[in-house]
Chains A and B, each alone.
Chain A
Amino acid sequence: MDFEWDMFTAALTSSAFVHGAMLSVGLAVCAMVLASIVGFGVALLRIASNRVATAVGGAYVWFFRAIPTLLVLLLIWNAGPQLLPALRDDWFTPFLAALIGFSVVEAAYMAEILRSALLSVDDGQHLAARALGLAPHKVLFKVVLPQAIKVAIPPSGNELIAMLKYTSLASVISLRELLTTAQSQVSVTFRYAEYYSAALVYYLVIVSALMAVQQVVERRYRWISAGRVGQVSGLKVGTAVPV
């Protein structure tokens, strides 16, 4: 078999791959954070009682789910500076353009995840919080949102992992993330298997790390007293435990 292990290990440990991987992870994580914040706002609009608010939220979700992410990136990176001279300066980097593009698109998907999570919180929780005299924003942030987050974690983990892989789209705006790094090495050496395999290993390691983080976060949202952690299986969370 014609597989040059030296080349493979050299690629694995090369600074170009490490740099590309860090760009991919950094872009995916930052975009996810921004998308969660914007998406939360859009979700609140969509469940508001005000008709204008629901329409605005609905329009956002419709628009950014309808157009391809690739098109959004091209618009921001190429059409943006054409329309806005301020974007022609050096500060407008491919990373920044990609961050904006991925964030606004992902916000539409996060809005739907957060909307369903907010709606899944039992009505009695709102009622009890209001009855105690909590102001509306405290009902949301102290009672409803923490419980919604628990529901939103697994689908958000999906989104983050998908986003990590979507960062390769940013190659079209000359961002040298992980897959672009591998591709550019291939185009110099014509060694496909070694460089693609190195990229594959990076993706496996990164996704494994993200899944481990998700597991830690989910454990924090189990709401079981310290003495009982480990006694109660994950499947039983939310059901009554005999005392």
Chain B
Amino acid sequence: MSTPVLQAVDLHRRYGDTEVLKGVDFSVARGEVKALLGPSGSGKSTILRLMALLEHPDGGEILLNGKQVGVSTSSNGSTRRLPERHLAVQRRDIGMVFQRFNLFAHLDVLRNVTLALTEVAGMSKKDAVSSAEAMLERVGMSDRLQHYPSELSGGQQQRVAIARALVTNPSVMLFDEPTSALDPELVGEVLEVMEGLADAGMTMVVVTHETRFARRVADEVMLFDGGVMVEQAPPNQFFDDPRHDRTRQFLSHLRGVGN
């Protein structure tokens, strides 16, 4: 088996006295789509933030394309958290999409997408604009280049946010409940873009409550609860014949609310 694009080994994370992650192992291979399900507070969003190097784990390792990231290892084998400016360099290879879009409010659509190209990748303004325009075309937002985030619907903002994360060509895209903050009628347009990405072979980790999307698009579905991974299985098995009672219970809850 080839090296996973992104791998987490025995991740631990605590906030004060609360242990949010109690040793999580996880990996995603090139071109693979993994869906993470779980009740709120189960630690699934925390895993994503740790893997995006936005937070530091209290224990465990994160490997990106086989190489440990987020820490520097000294000659005696002890590790220290990298300073923020070095973490910034490693984050370039990871794309992240947030629940609340987090588009830059002071920049129009085009400049939201070109910012990382000119400020991180060192691209010329002209090249950045043409890359950004191509990416915005792909998410169906090329008719809104000069609009500011406050002038867009949630679905449009999230599509721009996907283009922004994608434009630097990361090895893996992480989605943190990308449709949870959207009005129901806007969910479809975002999922459609994500499905297109998956079809194009993008490596993706998606924290979601959209079980139909998970079943259709994911290669594997995982259930997190109480800081541990309860079950990991291909979608058909996960949804139709789960091994664990906790999974069955969680799925019946979801069906109970109309999913």
Residues of A with Cβ closer than 8 Å to B? 122, 124-125, 127-136, 138, 142-143, 146-147, 150, 221, 223-228, 237-243
Q: Smallest distance from the beta carbon of B164 to chain A beta carbons, Å?
A: 7
A243 near B156: Cβ-Cβ < 8 Å: yes
Decide: B147 and A243 in contact? CB cutoff 8 A: yes
Q: Does A133 lie within 8 Å of B88, measured CB to CB? A: yes
Set B87, B100, B120, B156: member contacting A132, Cβ < 8 A: B120
Asked if B239 lies at the interface with its beta carbon under 8 angstroms from chain A, I say no
Contacts of B115 in A (CB 8 A): 132, 134, 142-143
Which residues of B does A touch, CB under 8 Å?
52, 54, 84-85, 87-92, 94-96, 98, 100-106, 108, 115-116, 119-120, 144, 146-153, 156, 161, 164-165, 168
Contact between B105 and A243, CB atoms less than 8 A apart:
no
Among B120, B147, B152, B153, which residue has its beta carbon within 8 angstroms of that of A133?
A: B120
Shortest B83–chain A CB gap in Å is 9
A128 near B146: Cβ-Cβ < 8 Å:
no
> A-B contact count, CB below 8 Å?
107
Contact indicator B96/A243 (Cβ below 8 Å): no
- A selection of 29 A-B contacts at a CB cut-off of 8 Å is A124-B102, A125-B102, A125-B104, A127-B102, A128-B103, A128-B161, A128-B164, A130-B54, A130-B84, A131-B54, A131-B94, A132-B168, A133-B88, A133-B92, A133-B120, A135-B84, A142-B119, A146-B106, A223-B150, A225-B148, A225-B151, A226-B146, A237-B150, A238-B150, A239-B150, A240-B152, A240-B153, A241-B150, A242-B153
Residues of A within 8 Å of B85, CB to CB, are: 135-136
B96 interface neighbour in A131, A226, A227, A228, Cβ under 8 Å: A131
List the 10 closest pairs (A to B, CB-CB), nearest first: A124-B102, A133-B92, A128-B102, A131-B96, A132-B116, A133-B91, A223-B148, A133-B120, A146-B106, A225-B146
Which residues from A are CB-within-8-Å of B149? 223
CA distance A130 to B106 in the complex (A): 16
Partner of A131, one of B91, B106, B108, B152: B91
> Smallest Cβ distance from B175 to chain A, in angstroms?
12
- Given A131-B54, A239-B150, list of 5 further CB < 8 A pairs? A124-B100, A125-B104, A131-B165, A135-B85, A147-B104
**With A131-B165, A133-B168 as contacts: A240 and B150 at CB distance below 8 Å:** yes
Give the docked Cα–Cα distance between A127 and B37 (Å). 23
Residue of B with least CB distance to A224? B148
- Assembled-state Cα–Cα distance A129/B116 (Å): 8
**B54 interface neighbour in A127, A221, A238, Cβ under 8 Å:** A127
A230 CB, nearest partner CB in chain B, Å: 14
- Kindly state the separation between the CA atoms of A227 and B148 in the bound complex, as whole angstroms: 11
Q: Are B88 and A134 in contact (CB under 8 A)?
A: yes
Please give the distance in Å from B98's CB to the nearest CB on chain A.
6
Give, as a whole number of angstroms, the nearest-CB distance from A52 to chain B: 18
Please name all residues of chain A whose beta carbon is closer than 8 Å to the beta carbon of B150 when the two chains form the complex: 223-224, 237-241
Residues of B within 8 A of A238 (CB): 105, 150
Residues of B within 8 A of A130 (CB): 54, 84, 87-88, 91
Assess whether B151 is in contact with A243, with CB atoms less than 8 Å apart. yes
State the CA gap A237–B149 with chains docked (Å): 11
**B120 near A134 (CB under 8 angstroms)?**
yes
| Cβ contact of B106, chosen from A134, A136, A147, A242, cutoff 8 A | A147
**A106–B200 Cα gap in the complex (Å)?**
57
